Amino acid sequence: MDSVAEELATRDPATQEHTAQRQAPQERPTEPLTEYVQRVSRRIRAFDRRHPLVWDLHVTGFWVVAALVDYVGGGWRNVTRNADAPGWLLLTLTLALSLPLVLRRTHPRAVLLAMAPAALVNAWTGAALQASLLHLLVVFHLAMRRPPRTLWWATAVTITPVAVMAARHSRGGADQDIVPMLMSIAVAAAIGITVRTRRDYTEALEDRARRLEIERDQQARLAAAAERARIAREMHDIIGHNLSVITGLADGGRYAAAKSPERAAQALDAISTTSRQALTELRRLLDVLRDEEKHQSADLTPQPTLTDLDHLIAGVRSAGLPVRTTVHGTPTLAPGRQLTVYRVIQEALTNTLKHAGPGATSHITLSYEGQGAVTVTVTDTGRGGPGGGTAGRGIPGMRERTSLYDGTLEAGPRQAPDQGWRVHLHLPEESPQ
């Protein structure tokens, strides 16, 4: 039937068209211009962080060449106020105003102070080289990399040559020289502050993203550890208990084989039944370890409740441990509390099967106190406890389950003259929601 359905589906034109669309190679979407620019910008910034001197040399070389072109080409004569300045002085001032830019990012204050004497000579002689405007580039880096208070003295250092120029070689009023320069300084500082704010904001976002990623990984590890602990606890409670029952049945069947073959056959039947139950529970737990799709499709059996206690006790009795139960009150527990009570009793009986020795008996007392409160006491008349009381996963697992409901658990030898082991569980009333 499946092959016929597949053949009919392949003959359907709609299905063929859908299959062709899926098999057709998908065209790669065109990258938007903004994303391309951002990607290139990130690569350039990354290269600059690794090799900062390369970028500094290129930028400085560009401005040095521009200043030399202004000097050699005679462009400075269009704005000069002293066309008779000697050539050697103009060349010296050009280099003195441009070469220090190589340190503008690492030492902007030192660069500004190094350019100040050349700027004063430029203003005093009236050469008015346009290379003096490179002060604005240094002001930009000061605003971007240094505290805002640095801009006050930077403004004073930058405006002083302009004032000297206005005093010695004035063209009209002094405001025509000083006010434009002040506005230029303000614009350069504003651009620097804007870039700095944007950079700090981006770094804060990146740092937050890194922290969130680390926190997410930590939460994932904690969740995985908690899940592993839960699975280990479930496997210990279920598989360990069933194996203890099987061990008891096997020991009893071995002694009964010589005298009562019928009793031995009954023990083998019980071993077979218990083994199948253990295998079913193991498969159910292993489904939890699968991926999400398999986990959602897995047929998980419900967790045991108090109604399953009779079956649990019957299995223990069939393994050779006499168990007596006493119940006070009516159970009114939520499913989670029922599971905790069930697992504690199961673990206590399993420890009795393992460690109590031959001839031991067990007594279970359950007291239901209303509103979800319950007290459980499991005692035995054996000769020892579960490996010293703290070894293995049994008692720690019981304490973990108990702590989920703010309960208390006591596990230890019974007080003399009584012999054996005692497990006492108390879950308080459920808090109102």
Domain count, the chain: 2
pLDDT grade for 389, boundaries at 50, 70 and 90: very low
Average pLDDT of every residue of the chain: 79
pLDDT digits 0-9 by tens, 42-68? 888 888 888 888 888 988 899 899 888
pLDDT over 80 (residue 25): no
Distance of CA 178 to the CA centre of its chain: 56
pLDDT digits 0-9 by tens, 8-18? 344 444 444 44
Of the chain, the percentage scoring pLDDT greater than 70 comes to: 75
Q: What is the pLDDT of residue 426?
A: 92
Q: What is the pLDDT of residue 252?
A: 65
In a domain, 63, yes or no: yes
**Of 343, 346, 350, 413, nearest in space to 385 by CA:** 413
**Of 186, 191, 192, 196, nearest in space to 158 by CA:** 186
In a domain, 209, yes or no: no
pLDDT over 50 (residue 126): yes
Range of the domain at 408: 305-433
pLDDT over 80 (residue 286): no
pLDDT grade for 326, boundaries at 50, 70 and 90: very high
Range scoring the smallest mean pLDDT among 101-110, 131-140, 182-191, 385-394: 385-394
For residues 144-172, give the mean pLDDT: 86
3-class SS of residue 318: helix
Cα distances from 220 to residues 215, 216, 232, in angstroms, run 8, 6, 18
In a domain, 237, yes or no: no
Q: What is the pLDDT of residue 378?
A: 92
For residues 295-324, give the mean pLDDT: 74
The reply to whether omega before 417 is within 30° of 0 (cis) is: yes
For residues 194-198, give the mean pLDDT: 91
DSSP line for 338-406: HHHHHHHHHHHHHHHHHHS-TT--EEEEEEEEETTEEEEEEEE--S--SGGGTSSSHHHHHHHHHHTTT
In a domain, 196, yes or no: no
Final residue of a structural domain among 139, 171, 203:
171
Final residue of a structural domain among 171, 193, 221:
171
Q: What is the pLDDT of residue 123?
A: 87
In a domain, 197, yes or no: no
Of the chain, the percentage scoring pLDDT greater than 90 comes to: 14
Q: What is the spatial distance between Cα 102 and Cα 104, in angstroms, rounded to a whole number?
A: 6
Q: What is the pLDDT of residue 275?
A: 75
In a domain, 340, yes or no: yes
Q: What is the pLDDT of residue 9?
A: 40
In a domain, 3, yes or no: no
The residue that leads in pLDDT, 385 or 155, is 155
Q: What is the pLDDT of residue 392?
A: 58
**Of 411, 353, 357, nearest in space to 382 by CA:** 357
pLDDT over 90 (residue 351): no
Q: What is the spatial distance between Cα 422 and Cα 344, in angstroms, rounded to a whole number?
A: 12
Q: What is the pLDDT of residue 330?
A: 84
Range scoring the smallest mean pLDDT among 202-216, 224-238, 375-389: 224-238
Angle, in degrees to the nearest 10, between helices 108-125 and 87-98:
160
Q: What is the pLDDT of residue 394?
A: 73
In a domain, 139, yes or no: yes
Q: What is the pLDDT of residue 294?
A: 47
Can you give the CATH number for the domain in which 323 is found?
3.30.565.10
Q: Exposed (0-12), middle (13-18) or buried (19+): which is 261, by Cβ within 10 Å?
A: exposed
pLDDT digits 0-9 by tens, 75-107? 888 888 888 888 898 899 889 999 998 998 889
Final residue of a structural domain among 147, 171, 195:
171
